[in-house]
Structure 1
Amino acid sequence: MTTTDPSKRFTTLPDDATLSATVVALEEHGFSVEVVDDLDAARKAVLARIPYGSSVMTNTSMTLTDTGIEDAVNGDGPYESARRKMLELDFQTQAQEMKVISGQSDYALGSVHAITRDGTLVIASASGSQLAAYAWGAANVIFVAGAQKLVPTLETARERVYQHSLKLEDVRAQAVYGQHSSVGKILEIHQELPGRIHVVLIRQVVGY
């Protein structure tokens, strides 16, 4: 009897045929797609799509951190950082204002936890704080994801969330927040009006 190591199962890059088929499926569901070779190219691709002066919300994502996109947006650059603006407020007394700022930016940036072969994006969250922007609130959404996140089916996507992504996020949450993480909500985006959601796929293992 043989078993599959979950870490290898969910961190293996797809072959070119699988990648190409997934790109086609995503485009058929209204997403625009760009495939790049490395982290530097991913950062350049994302920033090239955002007009100077736009309000941009960077949602928590190891991929945004590793590509340098988070720093490029929230530093002293040409963008209006929704995250910096939001963090200037007090959560206890201004939570609703924070939700408006984070949920209705010109551009919402983040990643996904899985992309199915037939073109569905799957994003898990403990609180759901970023999901409203992805689903409806933000005028534009850009997802950046390592190609290892491609999976054959929705069932496999959910397995990836619980067996791989959650375990790694739980370690990060304990280190950063001093508490465990959880999967409180899962968003599945099956279809989108063309032009709103752009997906940048990186031919490297990045994020989880």
Structure 2
Amino acid sequence: MSTTATPDRFTTLPDEHALASTVAALEEHGFSVQVVDDLDAARAAVLARLPDGSSVMTNTSVTLAETGIADAINNGGGRWESARTKMSALDSATQAQNRKAIAGQPDYALGSVHAVTADGTVVIASASGSQPASYAWGAAHVVFVVGAQKLVPALEAAHRRIYQHSLPLEDARAQAAYGRHSQVGKILEIHQDLPGRTHLVLIRHQIGF
């Protein structure tokens, strides 16, 4: 059995001053932000934002899985329309574009990010680009659920975090789950968004890659 090293600088929670400063920077760039203490509070905060009957895409995310958010949406008894369930019912070989439309244009796209910079930029890496498509443009609303250990000083540190920390962990997960390696195919940086479109739930807890 092998283990993946996780440098402390990528897993340490910020102090309250750094957290508050980052929240202020995010808000200046059009994001709304909610800070919560634990995973249960994060799940409650996210679900409270989703109108009944709305289409919701749960993008692949360790954070969504560990908070129980993905399960609540996809097995929620019909309270929300699960875009993932709807997409998965289509044939990937013959209905690829239909699958992309469903996943890329929901009412709400849920996921996480790999880094948040001190000056208010969120950074997301993806192997295929399927997640950033909805985050950048396609979804009407976006909700990111983020462990506070992902706060970094600047973009350079965000990229180091992706390659030195997140990728090795995701590569190990992908091999276990899919039998193949992961990669950084595309990186999305969101520096500014329309007020009211993108919301971050920051958790004072180490969670996710």
TM-score for the superposition, normalised by structure 1: 0.97
Name 1:120's counterpart in structure 2.
121
TM-score for the superposition, normalised by structure 2: 0.96
Instruction: Within 5 Å, give how 1:45-194 maps onto structure 2.
Output: 45-75=45-75, 76-194=77-195
Instruction: Within 5 Å, give how 1:2-41 maps onto structure 2.
Output: 7-41=7-41
Q: Aligned-pair distance for 1:133? A: 0.4
| 1:173 counterpart SS class | helix
Post-superposition CA distance 1:82-110 (Å, at most 9, x none): 00000000110000000000000000000
> What letter is aligned with 1:37?
D
Question: After TM superposition, where is structure 1 displaced by more than 3 Å over at least 4 residues in a row?
Answer: none
- Two-structure CA RMSD over aligned residues (Å): 0.8
2-structure distance, mates of 1:7, 1:70: 28
| 2:101 counterpart SS class | helix
| 2:95 counterpart SS class | helix
Which sections of structure 2, spanning at least 5 residues, go unmatched?
none
Name 1:202's counterpart in structure 2.
203
2-structure distance, mates of 1:130, 1:56: 13
Post-superposition CA distance 1:155-181 (Å, at most 9, x none): 000000000000000000000110000
2-structure distance, mates of 1:6, 1:118: 24
Q: Aligned-pair distance for 1:118? A: 0.1
2-structure distance, mates of 1:179, 1:192: 34
Which sections of structure 1, spanning at least 5 residues, go unmatched?
none
| 1:33 counterpart SS class | strand
Q: Aligned-pair distance for 1:132? A: 1.0
2-structure distance, mates of 1:120, 1:130: 17
1-structure distance, mates of 2:159, 2:204: 22
Number of positions where the alignment pairs a residue of Structure 1 with one of Structure 2: 204
